[in-house]
Amino acid sequence: MSIRFTEGDEIPTDVVGFTEELFRMAIRDLRGVVSALRAGQAAEVKVAKAAIRDLRAIGMDLVRERANVEALRKQVAGAVGAGTEHDLDAARDEIGRRLAVLRASRGD
């Protein structure tokens, strides 16, 4: 048996947003169960325990996903300048051209 939280075969691209929505849904469910318990419906105790377990698990997933996103941001930020290579031969040629222009302007 498999449970699908999305339509189709797509994986949600916004995993943090998806996890936050699951967290909000679990909170709503827990509030409903707590209201039922306060109204004297003792049969809701098992549901309340399950809702608390789900909320805890989803909360841990949310924290983990946020940490993954932050780690990815740091990784991407660190790799920004890593792919650029300096062409020293071209730089040397450019310096030579500029020096030649300066010498020519002085009359050397």
Report the pLDDT value the prediction gives residue 9, as an integer from 0 to 100.
Answer: 55
- Cα separations in angstroms, 68 against 11, 44, 74: 17, 36, 10
Report the pLDDT value the prediction gives residue 81, as an integer from 0 to 100.
Answer: 53
Give the chain's largest Cα–Cα span. Answer: 101
Coil, strand or helix at 7? coil
Which two three-digit tokens encode residue 63? 């924290």
Q: Could you count the other beta carbons within 10 Å of the beta carbon of residue 70?
A: 10
pLDDT by 10s per residue, the chain, length 108: 344 445 555 555 677 778 788 878 888 888 888 888 888 877 777 877 887 888 888 888 888 888 888 888 888 877 655 555 667 888 888 888 888 888 888 765
Q: Could you count the other beta carbons within 10 Å of the beta carbon of residue 105?
A: 8
